[in-house]
Structure 1
Amino acid sequence: MAENPLHYLDATSLSALIRAREVSPVEVMQAHLDRIEAINPGINAIVTVATGAMDGARAAEAAILAGETLGPLHGVPFTVKDSIDTEGVPTQRGSPIFRGRVPAVDATSVARMKSAGAILLAKTNLPEFSYSTESDNLLTGRSNNPWNLDRTPGGSSGGESAAIAAGLSPLGLGSDLAISIRGPAAQTGIVGLKATHGRIPMTGIWPRSPRRYWHVGPMARSVRDLALAYSLLAGPDGADGLATSPLAFDAGTGASPDRPLRVGWLVEPGFGPIDREVAASVQAAADALRDAGCEVAPVRIPALEQDNALEAFLRLHVMEMKPDVAAATAGHEADMFAMSKFLLGTADTSMADFLRAEQASDRLRDGFAHYFQDHDALLCPVLPIPAHAHGLSEIVIGGQPVSALQIMAATVPFNVTGLPALSIRYGTSREGLPIGVQLVTRWMAESTVLHLAALLEATSPFRDLHPVL
């Protein structure tokens, strides 16, 4: 155990040790509380420790001693992004406007984790209202990347990604509007899954709009933890009308000797400029999947070249998100952070431009439907560069400055289309920062994306690397 501290074991390993009575839920919880006390001041990933965390661990230990039936995550701590409601524990949405807000009911995703025996450990930092690619706000401050404190851990689930990467939590819940699970996962070297839109209910998460692009999903340090969490989280809850597909339905295609999985890989064009180190990581992942028995070839996707998914998204979401933010901040303008002010100051999209953006989204969906007739998966970048410095309005890619919004260019197409997408580390920059690659499969084919991620993980030289803190 000395060589592999409890705080760096994945949730699956912790569950097995707890079941075998080799370690108690109280020991596991204390290890993570100690880690938070020691490490969190430097990265500011945890914003609230759940007051009932240790009581929950003691209750879990008593259940084991009493011989009760145990859930698959019995006694395992988990963390939750602070936009996701947690019963009796503050959910403050990264804003002084919601300071001290304590929900009376868990979000569906939180309730399902608890039903599996997991114990809420803490809430994690985010940008105000989950609306930024950096996790900074006026209430709980800025989160830092554990690999380099001068770099961002991303947003909007940046506190969650930093916590898991630094060993403050083995498993957590994030949300993803355009980048917010996969981008932070890539920037901190963990894994994150954005399942098909609607697979996991958004009940108990604010803001509600634009819910047709918003997703909630698991973040972890291992693919098997993602798979386990997904199996617990997915399925209708009778409250979210966009969450309708039963978990039992899966459109994935299993590999077989007769027909290996067909994977296309793409760096450019279609996602804008991509850093050479990121491109090399995608190429390395393509080679690894080929060595693992997949049929791998470079591809182009005309729909990505015809329509700019990021541009379409920006035109659509402004009109849908502004009313909720305007209502929440009315009379509290002094408590608004920069990105909310930016959103409310953005000109409304004209009806003509809104319709053009809707049509572009439809063409992108059509283009991917065509692509997945001949392919089982797409391998591509998550981000155009590794984790960047805090507070940038521009980023530099290949020596050329571009808008910081370009950081979302390779993730937002899969929010606009609702396709499942997963981020996994498969590289390291010359500065020692993690580089992620993105796997995408057809709608409802989560089994395929998880299988391919497991293949990469099995060959990855980066799977057991942790930041030095």
Structure 2
Amino acid sequence: MHELSATQIAAGCHDGTLDPGEVAAAFLRRIAELNPGLNAVVGTTPARLTSDIEALRERLRRGERPPLAGVPVLVKDVIWVEGQNVTQGSMLFRDFVAPEDAPAVARLRRAGALIIGMANSSEFACKGLTTNKVYGLTRHPADLSLTPGGSSGGCASAVAARLAPLALGTDGGGSSRRPPAHVGAVGFKPSQGAIADPVGFPHAFNGIQVLAPIARNVADTELMFEQLAGPDVRDPQSIPLSADPPREAAGLRIAFSPRFGLDVPVDADVEACIARSIDMLRGAGLNIMDADPVWPEGANEDTLMPLQHVGLANLFGQEWRRDPTQFDPDIEKQIARGMQWSGADVARAREAGYRIALTLGEFLSRHDLLICPTTPCVAWSADRLGPETIGGVTVQPRGHAVFTPFVNHAMAPAISIPCGTGRAGLPVGMQVIAARGRDRQLLAAAREIEAILAASAGRSVQPT
């Protein structure tokens, strides 16, 4: 059962060859078997799962065919699920019970999905390693000594380990692209506003964070996204997406930038894997040219970080003053730093983000897609924030995150798809980026890219 895709599970529930209760039970058994080592799924099984199963059975008996019928979904432990303990990985919220569903969760239920649990997150989704004081450390399914990264590491690790076919994460700087890249899953960051998000916890970085589907293949990602997409009058940032029909990938102008136009190190195994993948895509007839975005002078993640630090300080500074030991030490440092930034510092960071958005927007007016690595390295040891070196160069703990945050500030969609392996057989992810609102074009092209890479490697995309 756990090898079935979301598409296959829904089809089986539609034609009666699968029962939603049996599907959910199979995945819960899988969680019970593997999760003690992974610590990807946290908290308790949702109390309303039984009633959700019965309600879905009745819908199917009436002849309804909801698109995600019987598909188990895990939800990141920062997103509201009615009646569920949702902690944000924080001791401040360890007893919080969500009073209602986030609209995205409600849309999943209407589509027939079954919420079977919560997935671990770094505290407040503000760290590139998935660990917190409430639930502890999440580990990599291929090697328990490694991390899947963060902050959606619980979602990514669970999907890769077949604990659920789908997970709903968040992405404020790459949190649902980098972990999928590290574990060999697909992570999709939609355009800002493509999935309405007006209900739940306030974000430390409003206007940057989005809800993000995570799956094992692009088709399942598309299926999930279509049930989530759409505006909500309560969300002033929510937008309708382009209605233009997607074009075939062979007709698109695609740019390849091996370092995303940045002066940053990349490990040789990742660089070689991405280069091989680009050769495969070119060999299949895709029009891929070498081209780098030319970023504003001084553009880097350090320039943008005051926004996250000040956001955390605004939300939790009072509790931090009262007792800083309540927080993950790395989050505590971010809050302390946020208390020190001036208004001018914040204004400069906002301006830098705006200039980055203009730069990427202009680049994507000349190119339909931009391809680069999702991360410059494969997964690293779970006992540290980030790898100590990349490309033979000593790097800061966020050195692994350099290729994803700019996309958030540009409000653009981006997807990470597996493209091969690096050292020790660890997965490498390819990031594909499109202009804001072109989510469906991006997903259609990503499905074609995925199929080309799979065929070149002699494997099938869909599990059998």
TM-score, scaled to structure 2? 0.93
Q: Which of 386, 389, 396 matches 2:381?
A: 389
Q: Which of 206, 220, 233 matches 1:238?
A: 233
The residue type paired with residue 200 of structure 1 is I
Q: Where does the alignment leave 5 or more consecutive residues of structure 1 unmatched? A: 1-5
Alignment of 1:441-452 (within 5 A): 441-452=434-445
Cα distance in 2 for residues equivalent to 1:252 and 1:326:
47
The residue type paired with residue 355 of structure 1 is A
Alignment of 1:246-395 (within 5 A): 246-247=240-241, 249-250=242-243, 254-255=247-248, 260-268=251-259, 269-270=261-262, 272-303=264-295, 306-327=297-318, 329=320, 331-346=322-337, 348-393=340-385, 394-395=387-388
Give, in angstroms, the shift of residue 327 of structure 1: 4.1
Partner of 2:59: 63
Partner of 2:400: 407
Give, in angstroms, the shift of residue 405 of structure 1: 1.0
Cα distance in 2 for residues equivalent to 1:24 and 1:329:
48
Cα distance in 1 for residues equivalent to 2:164 and 2:460:
16
Partner of 1:3: none
Task: Report whether the alignment pairs 1:72 with 2:67.
Answer: yes
Task: Report whether the alignment pairs 1:171 with 2:166.
Answer: yes
Give, in angstroms, the shift of residue 56 of structure 1: 2.4
Task: Report whether the alignment pairs 1:104 with 2:119.
Answer: no
Query: What secondary structure sits across from 1:297 in the alignment?
Result: strand
Contact 2:40-2:138 at 8 Å conserved across structures: yes
Query: What secondary structure sits across from 2:423 in the alignment?
Result: coil
Evaluate the alpha carbon distance shift between residue 161 and residue 328 of structure 1 in structure 2; reply closer, same or farther with a 3 A threshold. Answer: farther
The residue type paired with residue 351 of structure 2 is Q
Give, in angstroms, the shift of residue 250 of structure 1: 4.3
Query: What secondary structure sits across from 1:8 in the alignment?
Result: coil
Give, in angstroms, the shift of residue 134 of structure 1: 0.8
Partner of 1:53: 49
Partner of 2:85: 90
Give, in angstroms, the shift of residue 167 of structure 1: 0.6
Q: Where does the alignment leave 5 or more consecutive residues of structure 2 unmatched? A: none
Query: What secondary structure sits across from 2:359 in the alignment?
Result: helix
Contact 1:74-1:118 at 8 Å conserved across structures: yes
Q: How many matched pairs?
A: 455
Q: Deviations over 1:319-352 (max 9, x none)?
A: 2332112245564533211122111221533333
State the identity %: 31
Q: Deviations over 1:292-327 (max 9, x none)?
A: 3321011121126x3423122213322233211224
Query: What secondary structure sits across from 2:195 in the alignment?
Result: coil
Query: What secondary structure sits across from 2:381 in the alignment?
Result: coil
Moved more, 70-79 or 168-177: 70-79
The residue type paired with residue 375 of structure 2 is L
Query: What secondary structure sits across from 2:35 in the alignment?
Result: helix
The residue type paired with residue 73 of structure 1 is L
Cα distance in 2 for residues equivalent to 1:16 and 1:113:
16
Cα distance in 1 for residues equivalent to 2:356 and 2:244:
20
Give, in angstroms, the shift of residue 252 of structure 1: 7.0
Partner of 1:426: 419
Contact 1:131-1:339 at 8 Å conserved across structures: no
Evaluate the alpha carbon distance shift between residue 25 and residue 153 of structure 1 in structure 2; reply closer, same or farther with a 3 A threshold. Answer: same
Evaluate the alpha carbon distance shift between residue 285 and residue 141 of structure 1 in structure 2; reply closer, same or farther with a 3 A threshold. Answer: same
The residue type paired with residue 448 of structure 1 is Q
TM-score, scaled to structure 1? 0.92
Contact 2:187-2:212 at 8 Å conserved across structures: yes
Question: Please, what is the CA RMSD of the aligned residues?
Answer: 2.1
Evaluate the alpha carbon distance shift between residue 451 and residue 291 of structure 1 in structure 2; reply closer, same or farther with a 3 A threshold. Answer: farther
Cα distance in 2 for residues equivalent to 1:451 and 1:253:
7
Cα distance in 1 for residues equivalent to 2:133 and 2:165:
27
Alignment of 1:139-218 (within 5 A): 139-218=134-213
Q: Deviations over 1:267-308 (max 9, x none)?
A: 13416111111112222232233233321011121126x342
Query: What secondary structure sits across from 2:371 in the alignment?
Result: strand
Evaluate the alpha carbon distance shift between residue 271 and residue 47 of structure 1 in structure 2; reply closer, same or farther with a 3 A threshold. Answer: farther
Alignment of 1:111-126 (within 5 A): 111-126=106-121
Query: What secondary structure sits across from 1:285 in the alignment?
Result: helix
Give, in angstroms, the shift of residue 391 of structure 1: 3.2
